[in-house]
Amino acid sequence: MARLPVYLRALTALQERGVATVSSEELAAAAGVNSAKLRKDLSHLGSYGTRGVGYEVEYLVYQISRELGLTQDWVVAIIGVGNLGRALAGYGGFASRGFRVAGLLDADEAIVGQEISGMVVEHIDRLEDIIADHGVSIAVIATPAGAAQGVCDRVVAAGVTSVLNFAPVVLSVPEGVDVRKVDLSIELQILAFHEQRKAGGPDGLAPLQEGDPPPGTSQYVETVEA
Amino acid sequence: MARLPVYLRALTALQERGVATVSSEELAAAAGVNSAKLRKDLSHLGSYGTRGVGYEVEYLVYQISRELGLTQDWVVAIIGVGNLGRALAGYGGFASRGFRVAGLLDADEAIVGQEISGMVVEHIDRLEDIIADHGVSIAVIATPAGAAQGVCDRVVAAGVTSVLNFAPVVLSVPEGVDVRKVDLSIELQILAFHEQRKAGGPDGLAPLQEGDPPPGTSQYVETVEA
DNA sequence: ATGTGTGAACTATTTCACAGCC
DNA sequence: GGCTGTGAAATAGTTCACACAT
């Protein structure tokens, strides 16, 4: 149910505009999905609509929040305080949805001790302490690619079972641990792919030529900073 | 084909380690997918493997890059230079994959003129000029939610047909324009959902109670800063 | 022997279309 | 009359399993 957060966002926007009731058609349009899909999704949570009328916005917001577990607070730690870690630390959308940042951690001595968004950056050595003391249940990894697996192993060993990974690597974790991955450059690559298709007409690429040359060296060298 | 960038990443990592050849099994493991799926995906690009041997890393890197359109340069503009815009401007993974940042733009006079990652922030008024002058084909929107649709309309009017949106809104665009959306808080919400399921046993939530109270006011108020 | 490429089986997801309730 | 909830149909995506090339 990866679409529930999108519905929730659309609903809170309606709520702010003082709308009391929506039809599946309207809400689906706001969320950018098909209305039948929306109804099926919502029907999985229970029968919260009224036939002939629609859904009561307030009530649906509450039910989806409950389903998503947003009626309780989740404690997160952000590991890696580069540009991205800073952006995450200052991101208002976390606090407002019940996500509390318990700590910012980094290995770089020059960054440790700095104050970012009202929090003092801690040394990565304190990782296990912070997880235990604050009851961290979600770790956000925003380190360089090379450090990510090591950090991941440590947070998992310390009992964290949900990881949001911004480093451009596939993390391996034991059974029972959830990892979600956000990769900024992958999103751009997907856009480039579609853009190319448009430019090249309906068929896109030229078909593979027999003598298509394998390049001597690749220009696609990895630079890894999440 | 949203998985091609992941394969490409795994392949370049192998390439750096000097590996000349991979089997579908090995590459699938590195990319975190099933090997049959990987073979099927690759077979869509053409027959680039050798039976009994595997895939030549160098050659496959080239073919996937070509398919994704990474053998040409793409010009991007980043609109909104808050924390996230800064992180994106400094993100090394763009330049290394053929994405060239042509401009950083913001509406805030206090930010305009600042130098970020070697670029001077331009005023949003210059948006159309910059798009035309540099041939921008991808716009990255990292503005607050309220400004996103307006910015989107302007870039589309200026001829951009691919948008990467970090603002927490569903953008509406004309036919033929691609939008991809990255929403940091949605990823966390999905993790929270799974985390809750683990904690609550296989059945997760308590079943809906008859007298389940609709809340008087919602605590889920939108704060919008992408 | 080994490992790709792929038809066929299976599973999941999306959409249709309409009965049933307001 | 209008709109939800949902079986059934259609579509998409995944995995199996093996023929066939090297």
Q: How many C-beta neighbours within 10 Å does residue A205 have?
A: 13
The pLDDT score that the predictor gives to residue A208 is 36
The pLDDT score that the predictor gives to residue A218 is 33
Supply the mean pLDDT for chain A: 88
The pLDDT score that the predictor gives to residue B41 is 97
Residues in B 7-66 whose C-beta is less than 7 A from nucleic strand D are 33-34, 36-37, 39-40, 50-53
Per residue in B152-195, pLDDT tens?
999 999 999 999 999 999 999 998 899 999 998 899 999 999 99
The pLDDT score that the predictor gives to residue A202 is 44
The pLDDT score that the predictor gives to residue A155 is 98
For nucleotide C14, the protein residue with its alpha carbon nearest to C1' is A37
| Gap from B163 CA to C22 C1', Å | 43
The pLDDT score that the predictor gives to residue A95 is 82
Helical (H) or strand (E) element with A193: helix A184-199
Q: Does A200 have pLDDT greater than 90?
A: no
Residue ranges of domains in chain A, CATH in brackets: 4-67 (1.10.10.10), 74-182 (3.40.50.720), 187-226 (no CATH)
Residue contact B12–A93, C-beta within 8 A: no
Query: What's the whole-model pTM score?
Result: 0.87
Rounded to 5°, angle at Cα A214 from A210 and A215: 145
The pLDDT score that the predictor gives to residue B80 is 97
- In sequence order, which residues have a C-beta less than 8 Å from that of residue B183 and are 6 or more positions away? A5, B166, B168
Residue contact A12–B164, C-beta within 8 A: no
Q: Report whether A148 contacts A167 (CB < 8 A).
A: yes
Residue from B61, B88, B175, B193 to probe the interface with A (highest A Cβ count within 10 Å): B193
Rounded to 5°, angle at Cα A77 from B170 and B143: 30
Residue contact B76–A223, C-beta within 8 A: no
Per residue in A72-98, pLDDT tens?
999 999 999 998 999 999 888 888 888
The pLDDT score that the predictor gives to residue B184 is 85
Q: Does A212 have pLDDT greater than 50?
A: no
State the angle between helix axes of A4-16 and A57-68 in degrees (0 to 180), rounded to the nearest 10: 150
The pLDDT score that the predictor gives to residue B216 is 32
The pLDDT score that the predictor gives to residue B96 is 80
pLDDT (mean) for B28-32: 96
Whole-number Cα distances in Å, B5 to A187, B13, B50, B116, B193: 9, 12, 22, 27, 27
Q: Report whether B8 contacts B68 (CB < 8 A).
A: yes
Q: Does B102 have pLDDT greater than 50?
A: yes
Q: Does B51 have pLDDT greater than 60?
A: yes
- In sequence order, which residues have a C-beta less than 8 Å from that of residue A162 and are 6 or more positions away? A137, A138, A139, A177, A178, A179, B191, B192, B194, B195
Which residues in chain B have their CB less than 8 angstroms from residue A75's CB?
none
- In sequence order, which residues have a C-beta less than 8 Å from that of residue A26 and are 6 or more positions away? A54
Which residues in chain B have their CB less than 8 angstroms from residue A95's CB?
223
Smallest Cα distance from A126 to chain B, Å: 23
- The Cα B18–Cα B55 span in angstroms is 14
Nucleotide nearest residue B26, measured CA to C1': C3
Per residue in B63-92, pLDDT tens?
999 999 999 999 999 999 998 999 999 888
Q: How many C-beta neighbours within 10 Å does residue A101 have?
A: 21
